[in-house]
Amino acid sequence: MDLDTVRTFVAVADAGQFQEAAIDLRITQQAVSKRVANLERSLGVTLFARTARGARLTLDGQAFLPHSRELLRAAERAAASVRPGERALRVDVLNRRIAPAVALQNFYRAHPGVELDVVTLSDADAGTAIEAVRTGEIDATFRAVSVPARELPDGILVERALDDPLQLLAGPSHPLAAARSLTPADLTGHRVWIPGIRRGTEWAAYYDELTGAFDLRIDAIGPNFGTEALLDAIVDSADLATLVGAGDRYIWPATHDLRRIPIHGPTPVYPHAFVRRADNPHPTLTALRRHLAASRPRTATEVWAPSWASLRA
């Protein structure tokens, strides 16, 4: 059923005259008459009794009117659900426990009235997420973007938003568990287990450069059974440890006694960038960018980031 035709029917019912409805709709009276006639023909009923004073709803017209109004309201709700500025702001994060997700939660706490839809394109690499921004499927994404600006789609802006310092996460029996802090050199020779690193992803590019810079042994062997399985493996191991962001939020039983150990001299940071379209008018997007800028945590004076991250500083 054509929505313009239904809208025309409602306009005639409200105005009581074809001519007045034509003025309200900014079309000709002939077009109004044609739309109503087509609607009556498709329904097989007469909706209006034409009189010298205008148009009066028949019993069938009276029965059809409330459903027509609801149909138009439903159509408007459907359009508003995807219309920037009226629907919730859609922001993608890789994982709901990492620092960008925590930043979004803090933004919502500071602005409880906003509509925010946090989505997870977890299987998408940076290129796929950026394409989702370009097409409007999402409004923004937090990604470590390793490609230069000249290779990005037209209209895509990438802003370095959050540098998350890395920490070593180890169980109580690990040789480094008692350390108050570590240097990257202290990790040399130790097995750092990060299952789930896929070639071609931005996090693979990050860990490749990190490994080369500090001669680390990062092991991605084995299936990724999730965070809980990783923590369970680390807690009882004198060999395994992993890297997490200082801003990441993980929860484990107190009996695990896991240790989060800061890394300094220099501090490796994971450079989360905020990716958006330059022409996105969503008002909440502006508020979020201001919040990120105002709440950006201060990092150590001596930091390490991959070479491509410096382009987003």
* Distance of alpha carbon 145 from alpha carbon 157, whole angstroms: 11
Domain termination site, one of 55, 80, 105: 80
* Distance of alpha carbon 211 from alpha carbon 218, whole angstroms: 7
pLDDT in the model for residue 116? 92
Domain termination site, one of 47, 80, 113: 80
pLDDT in the model for residue 313? 47
Q: Are residues 193 and 68 in the same domain?
A: no
Q: Are residues 224 and 173 in the same domain?
A: yes
CATH label of the domain that carries residue 37: 1.10.10.10
pLDDT digit string, tens, across residues 219-243: 988 788 888 889 999 998 999 999 9
User: Comparing 116-120, 144-148, 222-226, 262-266, which segment has the lowest mean pLDDT?
Assistant: 222-226
Q: Are residues 124 and 184 in the same domain?
A: yes
Q: Are residues 95 and 65 in the same domain?
A: no
pLDDT in the model for residue 310? 62
Q: Are residues 63 and 163 in the same domain?
A: no
Please state the pTM of the whole predicted model. 0.72
Q: Are residues 172 and 227 in the same domain?
A: yes
**Mean confidence (pLDDT) of the chain:** 90
Q: Are residues 118 and 71 in the same domain?
A: no
pLDDT digit string, tens, across residues 131-148: 999 998 899 999 999 888
Mean pLDDT across the stretch 295-304? 81
What is the phi-psi region of residue 128: left when phi exceeds 0, alpha when psi lies from -120 to 50, beta otherwise?
Answer: alpha
Q: Are residues 60 and 139 in the same domain?
A: no
Q: How confident is the model at residue 84 (pLDDT cuts 50, 70, 90)?
A: low
Domain termination site, one of 45, 80, 115: 80
Total domains, the chain: 2
Identify the bridge partners of residue 16 per DSSP, sorted by sequence position.
none
pLDDT digit string, tens, across residues 1-44: 899 999 999 999 999 999 999 998 999 999 999 999 999 999 99
pLDDT in the model for residue 226? 83
Query: DSSP readout, 269-281?
Result: EEEEEEEEETT--
* Distance of alpha carbon 102 from alpha carbon 89, whole angstroms: 16
CATH label of the domain that carries residue 152: 3.40.190.290
Q: How confident is the model at residue 158 (pLDDT cuts 50, 70, 90)?
A: very high
Q: Are residues 108 and 179 in the same domain?
A: yes
Structural domain boundaries enclosing 116: 89-312
Q: Are residues 25 and 129 in the same domain?
A: no
Pairing of strands 89-92, 140-143: parallel
How large a percentage of the chain has pLDDT more than 70? 96
Flag whether pLDDT at 210 surpasses 70: yes
Q: Are residues 27 and 118 in the same domain?
A: no
Q: How confident is the model at residue 173 (pLDDT cuts 50, 70, 90)?
A: very high
pLDDT in the model for residue 9? 94
Q: Are residues 10 and 36 in the same domain?
A: yes
